[in-house]
Structure 1
Amino acid sequence: MIELGKMQTLEVKNITSVGVFLNTKDSQKKDKDVLLPKKEVPEGTKVGDEIEVFIYRDFKERIIATTRRPKVILGEVGLLEVVDITSIGAFLDWGLEKDLFLPFKEQTTKLEKGRKYPIGLYIDKSNRLCGTMKIRDFLSSDSPYKENDWVKGVIYSINDKFGAFVAVDNKYEGLIPKKELIGVYAIGDIVDVRVTNVKDDGKLDLSLRDKFYIEIEEDAEIILNKAMEKGGILYLNDYSSPKEIRKELNMSKSAFKRALGRLLKEEKVEFIKGGIKVK
């Protein structure tokens, strides 16, 4: 069976002046063949040869084959550029002569011409290939990644309550929680993120920050809290011994100095004789 939207290996059934007609190896005479245009037919092709092709519809909505693999196939997600925007939808460059149609109802944000967005490929009710920005159902939760792995992804949805949803490798479901979403981001932004947790259902929690940065932030919070417990003053500084720091804060001297440097830079504390004071 010839399948729309997929890469298939089909057999050459007939050779004509306009190209070759293909079908599955076990096809019957009643089964309709599909045309691979002459300009795409490999030199020396004979009846019975097998050719890997992608099946889609041409400008006249006829089923046709191409030896080119598009930037996205059925059931997958790809990063596609907007080449035109109309009142009924947008058109995307997916690597074939005919651009991919993205219906208005399948858009999740205002599009910009020339910008790339994560797009899934599906077959609509009229048996046509279309794009969608609603890609959550295209993503799986069986990634090979573990905690502290760095991965690349694209933001496909932003929720004011939860954060930014990310398609990792265009395959796996991930979330940058709101508290980790530092800066301004938009749908279509590519991000390098660190896996902070693999949930029981396999979905990934992500962070834009490395572990070292977060540790400094957490240590700085510990120093501030301890100082506030003591009336806003903590008698520790760069000259305190590692033993004193460990006893008071349960952290190493190097960790203390890094966190203290952060607090000083942010002007949250200041030096006093023998220690620091919360501003």
Structure 2
Amino acid sequence: MDRDRRQVRTKAPNRNLQAGMILRMRVARKKEIGYFLTDGREEVFLHRNEADGPLESGEEVEVFLYHDHEDRLAATMAMPYVGLDEYGWLEVVDLSSRMGIFLDNGINKHLLVFIDDLPKLRDEWPRPGDRLLVAIKRDPKGRMLAKPVTEAEVGQIAVPADHTMKNKQVVGTVYKVIQAGAFLLTDEDHILFIHRDEMTERLRLGQSVRCRVSFVREDGRLNGSMRERKEVQYGEDAEKLLRYLINRDGAMPYTDDTPADVVREKFDMSKSSFKRALGKLMKERRVEQVDGWTKLIDNQVE
């Protein structure tokens, strides 16, 4: 199945015309700026700009119904990328600090994701060019909107990973951000979680990320890390601390006992990574800890 489109489409039911319907309608009459279409009971307007070409009275066309910019039910011959009660990936094209974000769904009217359905922290909002995994719904007034997918909907898409995935590099897109980290759906449709301690930058909804699979759970879900494997990261973190010490004339007021939040703020690493890097440097007799300070041994300042 196409990763970008999960089809659950049904034919238009026998009821009043509503946004999201795809159905065949007949040209009832022509006007200078467009056409009035009918399903035999109701009429809806198709602007010339929304038609594939000139139409004649009595001609039947397939159209998609939506609410235009003046909130009127209208028709277009352009078909949406993701239809009503479908879910799929749509590109972010604009944002409004008051309303939310807008997605390109293949027609002139962009879909809105309301601000209430977005992360509270603005820097976790998606940016133009990002892609969101959304489901297309109707609001209480019958207008179409997009909502981030639920866990149940992601579960219908996702496939379990096997243990051969460990330590492989994968690319995924963030579909949910929580305080502890971010959930991604990989290009192979595996669910992957990255804890904040394993991020090299704060992730946002809709962001595409390349990372390493650090653990494969029994249920086939993955844990991931944006950091190098520990044996590589130890050296990088130790070098980072050495640079910091050198720039401070060989001493810093941080040791194994420094609180985790201070370590995170000063060095952008977890407390455990900090302690491992310090341990490596002390084992190599490059630094020592004295009276709450870490110092270069023999004043090894470049």
TM (norm. structure 1) is 0.57
User: What corresponds to 1:155 in structure 2?
Assistant: 174
Alpha carbons 2:186, 2:192 under 8 Å: kept: yes
Decide whether aligned partners of structure 1 residues 215 and 105 sit closer, same or farther in structure 2, where only a CA change above 3 A counts. Answer: closer
Computing the radius of gyration from Cα coordinates, the structure with the larger value is 1
Post-superposition Cα deviations, 1:112-153, rounded to whole Å, max 9, x if no partner, equal 799246363321122122233465454234435734275533
Instruction: Report sequence identity in percent.
Output: 19
1:34 is the counterpart of 2:44: yes
User: What corresponds to 1:125 in structure 2?
Assistant: 140
Equivalent in 168, 172, 175 of residue 193 of structure 2: 175
Decide whether aligned partners of structure 1 residues 270 and 19 sit closer, same or farther in structure 2, where only a CA change above 3 A counts. Answer: same
Aligned partners of 1:206, 1:269: CA distance in 2, in Å? 31
Alpha carbons 2:66, 2:73 under 8 Å: kept: yes
Alpha carbons 2:101, 2:115 under 8 Å: kept: no
Alpha carbons 2:192, 2:224 under 8 Å: kept: no
Alpha carbons 2:18, 2:73 under 8 Å: kept: no
Post-superposition Cα deviations, 1:184-203, rounded to whole Å, max 9, x if no partner, equal 32333221245553653x6x
* Residue type of the alignment partner of 2:115: F
Aligned partners of 2:218, 2:20: CA distance in 1, in Å? 33
Alpha carbons 2:175, 2:184 under 8 Å: kept: yes
Alpha carbons 1:19, 1:36 under 8 Å: kept: yes
- 1:74-153 aligned at under 5 Å gives the runs 74=84, 75-76=86-87, 77-86=89-98, 89-94=99-104, 96-111=107-122, 115-116=127-128, 118=132, 120=134, 121-133=136-148, 135-144=150-159, 146-147=161-162, 148=165, 151-153=170-172
Aligned partners of 1:170, 1:21: CA distance in 2, in Å? 45
User: What corresponds to 2:183 in structure 1?
Assistant: 165
User: What corresponds to 1:64 in structure 2?
Assistant: 74
Alpha carbons 1:106, 1:131 under 8 Å: kept: no
Which region of structure 1 is more displaced relative to structure 2, 127-136 or 55-64? 127-136
Aligned partners of 2:200, 2:126: CA distance in 1, in Å? 26
State the aligned residue count: 217
User: What corresponds to 1:207 in structure 2?
Assistant: 224
Post-superposition Cα deviations, 1:5-60, rounded to whole Å, max 9, x if no partner, equal 36x3524343412434456xxx5x33x24332112222354544443x43210122
Decide whether aligned partners of structure 1 residues 151 and 49 sit closer, same or farther in structure 2, where only a CA change above 3 A counts. Answer: farther
Post-superposition Cα deviations, 1:226-260, rounded to whole Å, max 9, x if no partner, equal xxxxxxxxxxxxxxxxxxxxxxxxxxxxxxxxxxx
Aligned partners of 1:69, 1:131: CA distance in 2, in Å? 16
Aligned partners of 2:175, 2:20: CA distance in 1, in Å? 22
Aligned partners of 2:78, 2:170: CA distance in 1, in Å? 28
Alpha carbons 1:122, 1:131 under 8 Å: kept: yes
Decide whether aligned partners of structure 1 residues 178 and 110 sit closer, same or farther in structure 2, where only a CA change above 3 A counts. Answer: closer
Equivalent in 185, 190, 197 of residue 203 of structure 2: 185
User: What corresponds to 2:24 in structure 1?
Assistant: 10
Aligned partners of 2:143, 2:189: CA distance in 1, in Å? 23
**Runs of 5+ consecutive residues of structure 2 not aligned to the other structure:** 1-11, 236-275, 286-302
* Residue type of the alignment partner of 1:42: D
User: What corresponds to 2:216 in structure 1?
Assistant: 197
TM (norm. structure 2) is 0.53
